[in-house]
């Protein structure tokens, strides 16, 4: 056994069981907005004077009414302006790309960083996914600003200010000659919001959960349109796999019009594959 590991094991054996549980749940959040990274622990955030008790009526991850201790996310984003772009990275590789304008919207939707208290853990997500904590981005009145389910990242480990997606990953852009109102361009916006959190395209992207959606082949190339639609709505309806991670997107989360546009974008990108 390595010396450091031996020391850690001996330390753990000296702790009473409740202390072991709490020690295992102590977690950190890293925030890097371009002027020096900051790290916060759950304990530091829970004792802040601006922490509030909030209620979420229809929690996206836990599918029930939830009560959280939470901070308005804006208080942790010093110096952020509406033109900035933020990435929320989860422990499992999920990477939510959220424009700062969405987080700072003035339409009534408020983004909160829910903080799990180790002494009062949240319900588990089920299917061996553990807790949504220690940090979870939740929204009050999400419908006011059209907040989608992919903009509720949980198990957050870091938040970064980055250039927007188009600048970082030009190989996922549709043809620049397309008009702004084209279904393909609308589909590109849907793709960024709903797919890019888990998948890469043309090898580009930061998410680590799902396969690439264009190379070597796009799902458009090997699934009939009706089967692909069914798969997006309910992955288990096409291929039953208990370990599958992809959620279904119902019509409330992804409208039929948005799904049409998304498929138009994927179809368009088949002819814009990156060199392998």
pLDDT for the residue numbered 165: 86
Please check the confidence at residue 12 and state whether its pLDDT lies above 60.
Answer: no
* Residue-level length of the chain: 276
Q: What is the pTM of this model?
A: 0.77
| 260 or 17, greater pLDDT | 260
**Half-sphere exposure in the Cβ direction for 221 (13 Å, CA):** 11
Q: Which of the four pLDDT bands, split at 50, 70 and 90, describes residue 50?
A: very high
Q: Which of the four pLDDT bands, split at 50, 70 and 90, describes residue 5?
A: very low
- Asked if 88 and 98 count as a contact pair (C-beta separation under 8 A), the reply is yes
pLDDT for the residue numbered 240: 67
| 241 or 157, greater pLDDT | 157
State pLDDT tens for residues 213-225.
999 999 999 999 9
State pLDDT tens for residues 258-270.
999 999 999 999 9
Question: What is residue 265's three-state secondary structure?
Answer: helix
pLDDT for the residue numbered 267: 97
- Average pLDDT value for the chain: 86
Residue ranges with strand state E in the chain: 28-32, 38-41, 52-56, 66-72, 85-90, 95-99, 110-115, 135-140, 156-162
CA-based max dimension of the chain: 67
Q: Is residue 10 exposed (0-12), middle (13-18) or buried (19+ Cβ within 10 Å)? A: exposed
DSSP H or E run through 165:
helix 165-168
The CATH architecture that domain 25-162 belongs to is Alpha-Beta Complex (3.90)
Where do the structural domains in the chain lie, given as residue ranges?
25-162, 167-272
- Asked if 125 and 62 count as a contact pair (C-beta separation under 8 A), the reply is yes
State pLDDT tens for residues 137-167.
999 999 999 898 889 999 999 999 999 888 8
Please check the confidence at residue 271 and state whether its pLDDT lies above 90.
Answer: yes
Q: Which of the four pLDDT bands, split at 50, 70 and 90, describes residue 252?
A: confident
pLDDT for the residue numbered 198: 86
Q: What string of DSSP letters covers 41-70?
A: EHHHHHT-TT-EEEEESS-TTT-S-EEEEE
* 167-272: CATH superfamily: Cupredoxins -  blue copper proteins (2.60.40.420)
């Amino acid at each position: 056994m390595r010396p450091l590991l031996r020391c850690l094991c001996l330390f753990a054996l000296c702790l009473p069981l409740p202390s072991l549980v709490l020690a295992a749940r102590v977690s950190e959040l890293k925030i890097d907005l371009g002027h020096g990274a900051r790290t916060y622990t759950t304990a530091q955030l829970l004792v802040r004077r601006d922490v509030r008790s909030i209620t979420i009526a229809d929690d996206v991850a836990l599918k029930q009414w939830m009560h959280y201790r939470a901070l308005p996310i804006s208080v942790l984003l010093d110096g952020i302006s509406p033109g900035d772009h933020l990435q929320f990275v989860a422990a499992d590789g999920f990477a939510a790309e959220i424009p700062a304008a969405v987080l700072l919207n003035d339409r009534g939707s408020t983004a909160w960083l829910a903080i799990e208290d180790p002494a009062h853990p949240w319900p588990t997500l089920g299917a061996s996914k553990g807790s949504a904590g220690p940090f979870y981005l939740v929204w009050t009145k999400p419908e006011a600003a059209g907040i989608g389910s992919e903009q509720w990242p949980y198990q957050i480990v870091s938040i970064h200010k980055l250039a927007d997606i188009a600048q970082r990953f030009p190989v996922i852009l549709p043809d620049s000659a397309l008009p702004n109102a084209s279904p393909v361009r609308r589909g590109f916006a849907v793709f960024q919001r709903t797919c890019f959190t888990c998948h890469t395209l043309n090898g580009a992207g930061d998410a680590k959960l799902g396969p690439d959606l264009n190379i070597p082949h796009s799902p458009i190339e090997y699934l009939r349109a009706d089967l692909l639609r069914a798969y997006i709505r309910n992955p288990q309806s096409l291929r039953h796999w208990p370990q599958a991670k992809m959620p279904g997107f119902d019509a409330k989360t992804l409208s039929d019009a948005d799904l049409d546009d998304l498929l138009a974008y994927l179809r368009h990108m088949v002819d814009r594959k990156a060199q392998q």
